[in-house]
Amino acid sequence: MALTLNLPFLRRKPPAPPPDAAAAALRSDRFRLERETDWRRLEDVVARLEKNRLRRISDADLLDLPVLYRQAASSLAVARETSLDAATLDYLEGLVRRAALQVHGPREGFGRWMLRFLGGGWARAVRALWLDICIALAVSLAGTLAGWLLVARDDAWYYALVPAGFGETRQPGATREVLAETLAGTDKAHGLTVLATYLFSNNTGVAIMAFALGFAFGVPTLLLLVHNMAMLGAMLWLFGSVGLLPDFAAWISVHGTTEISAIVLAGAAGLHVGRAMAFPGQRSLLAAVQDAGQRSARVMAGVVIMLICAGLLEGFVRQLVEPTPARFAVGGAMLALWAGYFTLSGRQRA
């Protein structure tokens, strides 16, 4: 059996690396040492962003994040060109990938966006359209009054303003009992569901058209508001002519305070775009329309929410709540809710 002596003076020195490999290792170490401080700083900022710890990131680090990201990306390109060691390449590729997601990726998900939108963004967009809302509201009230006066002067206008889809019972000449029956619960008025469906689909279409037609300088939007609200005025006259005005107002207020408010906001959004096209001010026409379009789009996103709420009120609450005072209470509460939200929400961030 052969013995192996482990004596220091007999140990062989490890073979020296080839000159090229030694130079490459030296170059890689130097490359890493010169930039590693910035890489570590970028890695720390990215790690905090990934953990959603924004408060623990200093303003200087946030401001320098794009610069650090570009430096890391440049270092990665150099490392690939010069064939640096695999560990450095792997580290830089992972770091640049994570940083790119934070710099160019989406900042928030749908849930966070919705919270920010409902937490004040929507209300601020609505308040920014205050002049257009005043115009749309004034035009809507004028249309309602015009519809009432036209039908009161000649009830033939009722057939021109109110579509035949409302049924044969809701027309001039109908008795009080017949009209009262249409305001009762669904178990007493078969046609109520048809009317509710028609109103919901009609008002949804009107809201969308009121916004879309705003691009024609807002004029079609105003005409649409007048026509739609004239129909409401004609129906108010019809029920008022037989002494059922409070009952009809209560019946329609359950969902109407939400639905009509949504239509007015949609009209204001369309009018806002139309005004920007007609009067761009000191800005270019494209810039003015772009700003108005973005602001109006936020308002319209909220209008969709209001129309959904109106549909739920119309489809369920109005069927369950029948007494006139209770219907007024629901409609008034919804009106106060919307008015309070649009007036107060988001003011602390303005």
Write down the pLDDT at residue 4: 46
DSSP secondary structure letters along 226-261? HHHHHHHHHHHHHHHTTT-HHHHHHHHHHHHHHHHH
First to last CA, the chain: 90
Q: Is the pLDDT of residue 151 over 70?
A: yes
Write down the pLDDT at residue 143: 94
CB atoms within 10 A of CB 213: 21
33-58 mean pLDDT = 82
| Angle, helix 219-240 to helix 130-153, in steps of 10 degrees | 40
Write down the pLDDT at residue 1: 44
pTM of structure: 0.67
Query: Is 285:274 a contact under the CB 8 Å cutoff?
Result: no
Write down the pLDDT at residue 193: 59
Tokens for 260? Answer: 């009509």
Write down the pLDDT at residue 96: 84
Say how far apart CA 334 and CA 350 lie, in whole Å. 25
Kindly report the three-state secondary structure assignment for every residue of 292-331: HHHHHHHHHHHHHHHHHHHHHHHHHHHHHCCCHHHHHHHH
Q: Where residue 23 falls among pLDDT bands split at 50, 70, 90?
A: low
Q: Is the pLDDT of residue 187 over 60?
A: no
Q: Where residue 51 falls among pLDDT bands split at 50, 70, 90?
A: confident
Specify whether the backbone of 173 is left (phi greater than 0), alpha (psi in -120 to 50) or beta.
Answer: left
276 versus 27: the higher-pLDDT residue is 276
279-303 mean pLDDT = 86
CA angle 114, 119, 121 (to 5 degrees): 80
Query: Is 178:169 a contact under the CB 8 Å cutoff?
Result: yes
156 versus 216: the higher-pLDDT residue is 156
Tokens for 288? Answer: 């003015």
Portion of the chain with pLDDT greater than 90, in percent: 25
Say how far apart CA 97 and CA 99 lie, in whole Å. 6
Q: Which of 59-73, 146-160, 196-210, 277-291 has the lowest mean pLDDT?
A: 196-210
Write down the pLDDT at residue 329: 94
12-32 mean pLDDT = 64
Q: Where residue 196 falls among pLDDT bands split at 50, 70, 90?
A: low
78 versus 339: the higher-pLDDT residue is 339
Query: Is 88:28 a contact under the CB 8 Å cutoff?
Result: yes
Portion of the chain with pLDDT greater than 70, in percent: 82
325-342 mean pLDDT = 94
56 versus 219: the higher-pLDDT residue is 219
C-alpha R_g of the chain: 34
226-239 mean pLDDT = 91
